[in-house]
Amino acid sequence: MARWGMVIDLSRCYGCRACMMACKVENNTPGAHFWMYVFRLEEGEYPDTQVRFLPRPCMHCDNAPCVKVCPVGARYKRADGIVSTDWARCIGCRYCEVACPYGVNYFNWKSPKKNQYLDWDSPAAEALEPVTKGAVPPYQNPALGGQMKDGRKTAGGGQLKGVIEKCTFCVHRVEKGLQPACVANCPAFALHFGDLDDPASQLSRLLAANKSFRLEEAFNTRPRVYYLGAPPPSTEARQIQAVKARE
């Protein structure tokens, strides 16, 4: 069985945040939720400063703190390595969120429908009906509703008020043999997705040929997202142009 993972080539990333946008469109995540987030970081003191970029999806850790603490098994590790959230089971305690070292979890603080960039119940959305040939709400991805192959409801965002959601590695696409939306839409080919267990995969070849690191490895979370092409951001790195949206 494939064991999915991601490799992010920092030497290619120029911080355009197209992956963030692709993720939002694909997964219908509500406002202020960024399952994929690209840090724009500044290091050093003037005039010796440097700007760097660091995309941050969910790390899909093999030793995931969020999976351990979930009281009902709504957050779980799939056999193919994806850390999934069963939004049909989640009780909304947010323990996974405080346990995660990477800050990748987003809670639906209010009804996601109301929190979309366009209120799907508003007249403005209905007015779009002729344009979208009757598809209301517009831009709602029909692939996100049902069960995944393991029989659980884990795909997509904006599902329900009061549950936790996060990056799914686009499980609904991966199960169909497609790449996650962020990977498919990266204009610089900085993101790579594939089977870490297959020595012939592009991922394995990239990792064999380059020095790589994973975020906060000291905590033994064993992330499945690898970075290469640049050293880890220094502890002095400051975030610039942060997305400040609050729900």
Partner 1 sequence: MATRADTRLPYGVGQAGARFFLLVAGLLVLVGLGAYAYTRQFVEGEAVTGLRDIGTMGGAPWGLYVAFVIYFVGVSFAGITVAALIRILNLEHLRPVSRMAEVLTVLALVLGAMSVIVDLGQPGRGIVNLLLYARPQSPFFGTFSLVISGYLVASMVYLYLESRKDAALCAREPGRLQWFHRLWAAGYKDTREQRERHLRASWWLSLFIIPLLVTAHSTLGFVFGLQISAFGWYGAFQPPEFLILAGVSGIGLLIVIAAAARQTLHLQEQIPKRVFTWLANFLWVLLVVYGYLMIVEVLTAIYQPHQNEEALIRTLVFGNYAWMYWLSVGLLIVPLVVLLVQSVMRRYSLPIIVASGVFVNVAAIIKRYLIVVPSQTHGRLLPYGPGAYSPTWVEYLIVLGIAAFGALAYVVFFKVFPITEVKESDGSQSLWKTSE
Please provide the DSSP assignment of 105-139 as one string.
-EE--S-TTTTSSS-TTSHHHHTTTTTTTT-SSTT
Minimum distance between the CB of residue 224 and partner 1, rounded to whole angstroms?
17
Identify the CA nearest to 166 among candidates 69, 54, 83, 55.
Answer: 83
Minimum distance between the CB of residue 163 and partner 1, rounded to whole angstroms?
6
For partner 1, give the closer residue by CB, 201 or 221.
221
Minimum distance between the CB of residue 150 and partner 1, rounded to whole angstroms?
15
Q: How far apart are CA 90 and CA 67, in angstroms?
A: 12
For partner 1, give the closer residue by CB, 56 or 172.
56
Binding residues for partner 1 (CB under 8 A):
32-34, 37, 39, 41, 56, 65, 68-74, 89-95, 97-111, 160-164, 215-216, 219-221, 233, 235, 237-239, 242-247
Identify the CA nearest to 224 among candidates 167, 185, 173.
Answer: 167
Strand order of the β-sheet with 50-56 is: 50-56, 37-43, 238-240
Minimum distance between the CB of residue 70 and partner 1, rounded to whole angstroms?
6
Give the burial string for 64-80 (b: 16+ CB within 10 Å, else e). Answer: bbbbeebeeebbbbbeb
Minimum distance between the CB of residue 217 and partner 1, rounded to whole angstroms?
11
For partner 1, give the closer residue by CB, 138 or 162.
162
